[in-house]
């Protein structure tokens, strides 16, 4: 009997359901491995006709989980960077300063906006039109006060002060960084800020903090909120979201656009 046949529904007494479920789950990797080896044999035969490559078992590089009906992605990082890129495309700032953002965002957005990337670590991005500045977000240069018209800090604040990236342990590190962002933002400028959120909030040391809506708002008391977009862990994208949508959610992603 093939492994695929064993994976079809099995009718058993209710008391055996858990045991059967565990058994069927254990068979899934075996079925995928069997399918892989069968496909390799077929591909090897086809290649002998094609004549360009000689498939070898020693060169196997199996990916067994990508045969899915939909293309998968990390909703946090794909959707929040897409949200930010669209914000820049709409507002068209001449210069944008990125504080520790995803390098995917920095590299792509630099194609249409002059970009300065600030972080405590070097990025080694090869693009000459991206300026880099080694800065501590909890203590930005005094001369920057009120001078930056477009800035972003996305999926960064939740880490500051936890020591994960070599920064100093400081339980108030995120508050200090938020105050610095508000200080350097120019009047009328925009701040794109993204953090993971959860109800109720918690800190997972030393990975990240998970904020409530009110905690995020308390970080920027001197700024005005222009937009709140919520991304769920399942990939739902709620533009101009109501804060109540966060109730009871686990590991959501909050996208905030502020102005001064």
Q: Check residue 26 and give its pLDDT.
A: 57
**172-221 confidence digits (pLDDT tens):** 999 999 999 999 999 999 999 999 999 999 999 999 999 999 999 999 99
- Residues 85-110, mean pLDDT to the nearest whole number: 97
**Could you give the C-alpha distances from 72 to 9, 99, 119, 185, in angstroms and in order?**
26, 28, 29, 36
152 pLDDT exceeds 90?
Answer: yes
Q: Give all strands (DSSP E) within 6-113, no chain letters.
A: 95-99
* More confident position, 128 or 237: 237
Using pLDDT thresholds of 50, 70 and 90, give the confidence band for residue 10: very low
Q: By C-alpha distance, which of 122, 128, 83, 79 is closest to 103?
A: 122
Q: Write down the mean pLDDT value for the chain.
A: 90
Q: Is residue 169 part of a domain?
A: yes
**How many domains are there within the chain?**
2
The whole-angstrom distance between residue 252's C-alpha and the CA centroid of its chain comes to 11
Range of the domain at 148: 75-259
pTM of the model: 0.82
Q: Are residues 114 and 32 in the same domain?
A: no
Q: Are residues 52 and 87 in the same domain?
A: no
């Amino acid at each position: 009997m093939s492994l695929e046949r064993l994976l079809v529904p099995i009718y058993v007494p209710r008391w055996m359901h858990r045991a059967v479920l565990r058994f069927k789950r254990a068979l899934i990797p075996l079925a995928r491995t069997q399918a892989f080896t069968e496909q390799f044999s077929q591909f090897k035969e086809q290649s002998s006709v094609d004549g360009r490559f000689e498939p070898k078992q020693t060169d196997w590089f199996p990916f067994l989980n990508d045969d899915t009906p939909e293309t998968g992605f990390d909703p946090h990082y794909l959707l929040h960077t897409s949200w930010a890129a669209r914000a820049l495309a709409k507002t068209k700032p001449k210069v944008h300063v990125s504080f520790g953002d995803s390098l995917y965002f920095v590299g792509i957005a630099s194609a249409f906006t002059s970009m300065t990337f600030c972080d405590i670590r070097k990025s080694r991005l090869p693009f000459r039109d991206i300026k880099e500045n080694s800065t501590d977000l909890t203590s930005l240069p005094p001369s920057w006060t009120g001078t930056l018209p477009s800035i972003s800090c996305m999926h960064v604040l939740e880490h500051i002060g936890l020591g994960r990236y070599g920064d100093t342990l400081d339980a108030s590190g995120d508050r200090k960084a938020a105050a610095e962002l508000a200080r350097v933002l120019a009047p009328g400028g925009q701040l794109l800020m993204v953090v993971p959120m959860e109800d109720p909030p918690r800190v997972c040391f030393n990975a990240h903090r998970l904020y409530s809506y009110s905690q995020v708002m308390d970080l920027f008391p001197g700024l005005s909120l222009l937009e709140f977009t919520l991304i769920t862990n399942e990939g739902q994208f709620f533009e101009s979201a109501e804060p109540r949508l966060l109730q009871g959610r686990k590991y959501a992603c909050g996208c905030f656009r502020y102005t001064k």
